Each structure stands twice: as structure tokens, then as C-alpha cells.
């Protein structure tokens, strides 16, 4: 148990607001547990928290020192398939834009993008030139979302992804799935597949 804010402010000769801010940072990083009535304790098993940055893929590639490239592989409007409904609480019979694209770094495959966009929420994307600007960047610039979910996993490349990434069918791929919602309505669901050499790093 650590002293209360007033005592800490006195001990360290600083403003109570400063102590409050410091404790908030420590609680955010998981080192202390703050309970409204029970007081503040040093965490027994500190749950450390790491921050993942989620830039647009162009920035991700450039941030790693590569030259960015992009190719639209396919684009079609479909009714939302059943498996999408499960993943993102997709409305039944919604009109959905399905886009597949390849992101490149220095001319080499960097990530395969498989994306579904709800045209009820983002109808203007129908008129966008997605051969020029990726759906990833178009959405970040044009559609705000209220919340999102990210799921990281390992998977096996299917034949189509293996061909595009230049790996064997069944080879491990690193997957980032992301769903974003505007309030309760899904905007987009995307699965990015990276070759097994991909590393996603962060600090704690």
C-alpha cells in the first residue's frame, strides 16, 4: 500500500495534481492498482501494458525504411457472406465491397489485404479509385469510427495468399484482423496476412 496523494505531495514537495498525474501513469502501465475506496497498492502480479501503433500500411512500410508499393488485386460488390456476419455482427443482406490488395516494400510482397466494407456506412468508397489509393488509406481519411477490435494470430497461407506472398501453400503467415464500428454498425473488416518473416515489435 502506498501513501495517499496528499502525503506524497508533501513528501516530494510538489503539487497534488503532479502526484495524481504520476500515479495515473503508473496505473496505466500496470505497476500499481488504484481502487477508489481501498487505496493504491503496488500490483502483486503487475499486468504490464504495451502500446501497439497502427499506422496506415504506407507509413508502416516507410517507417521500416522501405519504399511503398501497392496493387489492387480484385474489387467486387457482394452481399455479405455468412462468415462475415459472425465476425463483425454484419447486417444480413448488407451490400459490401470486397477488396483484395497487395502492399509491397521495395517491390517485394509485404502484406496481403482482404477487406470488406459496409456500403451502408461508407457509400462514397464505391466512387473511389482504389487502384490509386488503398482502401486502407481511403477509409482512414474519410470515415471515422467509434471503436475497433484487433485480433493477432498465426495462420497457414491458402493457395491464393501463398501465390501473392510468394511462399508455399500452408506456410505460416502472421495475421492482423481488424473490425471497426460506428457505434453499433460495422464499417469494415480486414485481414492482413504477412509472410512469416514479419515482426511486430513494441516496447514495455
Q: How far is the CB of 202 from a second copy (least distance, A)?
A: 5
Measured from the CB atom, the residue of 6 and 196 that comes closer to a second copy is: 196
Measured from the CB atom, the residue of 84 and 139 that comes closer to a second copy is: 139
Q: How far is the CB of 77 from a second copy (least distance, A)?
A: 26
Tell me which residues touch a second copy (CB under 8 A): 17, 30, 44-56, 59, 137, 140-141, 147-156, 170-175, 178, 180, 194, 196, 198-204
Measured from the CB atom, the residue of 59 and 85 that comes closer to a second copy is: 59
H or E element, residue 42: strand 39-42
For 137-192, the DSSP string reads HHHHHH---SEEEEEEEEEE--HHHHHHHTS-TT-EEEEEEEEEEETTEEEEEEEE
Q: How far is the CB of 103 from a second copy (least distance, A)?
A: 15
64-67, long-range: CB < 8 A, 24+ apart: 64/105, 66/105, 66/106, 66/110, 67/105, 67/106, 67/107
Measured from the CB atom, the residue of 127 and 203 that comes closer to a second copy is: 203
CA distances from 72 to 102, 114, 117 (A): 6, 11, 15
Q: How far is the CB of 48 from a second copy (least distance, A)?
A: 4
Q: How far is the CB of 139 from a second copy (least distance, A)?
A: 11
Measured from the CB atom, the residue of 93 and 203 that comes closer to a second copy is: 203
Q: Which three cell numbers stand for residue 116?
A: 470488406
Q: How far apart are CA 101 and CA 115, in angstroms?
A: 8
Amino acid at each position: 500500500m502506498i501513501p495517499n496523494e496528499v502525503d506524497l505531495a508533501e513528501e516530494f514537495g510538489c503539487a497534488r495534481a503532479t502526484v495524481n498525474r504520476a500515479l495515473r501513469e503508473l496505473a496505466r502501465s500496470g505497476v500499481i492498482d488504484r481502487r477508489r475506496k481501498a487505496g493504491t497498492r503496488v500490483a502483486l502480479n503487475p499486468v504490464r501494458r504495451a502500446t501497439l501503433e497502427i499506422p496506415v500500411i504506407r507509413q508502416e512500410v516507410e517507417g521500416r525504411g522501405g519504399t511503398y508499393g501497392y496493387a489492387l488485386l480484385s474489387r467486387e460488390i457482394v452481399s455479405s457472406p455468412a462468415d462475415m456476419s459472425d465476425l463483425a455482427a454484419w447486417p444480413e443482406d448488407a451490400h459490401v465491397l470486397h477488396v483484395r490488395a497487395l502492399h509491397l516494400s521495395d517491390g517485394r510482397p509485404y502484406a496481403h489485404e482482404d477487406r470488406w466494407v459496409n456500403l451502408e456506412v461508407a457509400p462514397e468508397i464505391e466512387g473511389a479509385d482504389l487502384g490509386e489509393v488503398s482502401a486502407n488509406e481511403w477509409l482512414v481519411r474519410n470515415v471515422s469510427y467509434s471503436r475497433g477490435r484487433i485480433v493477432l494470430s498465426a495462420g497457414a497461407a491458402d493457395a491464393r495468399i501463398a501465390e501473392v506472398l510468394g511462399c508455399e501453400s500452408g506456410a505460416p503467415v502472421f495475421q492482423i484482423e481488424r473490425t471497426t464500428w460506428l457505434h453499433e454498425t460495422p464499417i469494415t473488416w480486414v485481414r492482413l496476412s504477412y509472410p512469416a518473416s514479419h515482426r511486430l515489435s513494441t516496447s514495455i
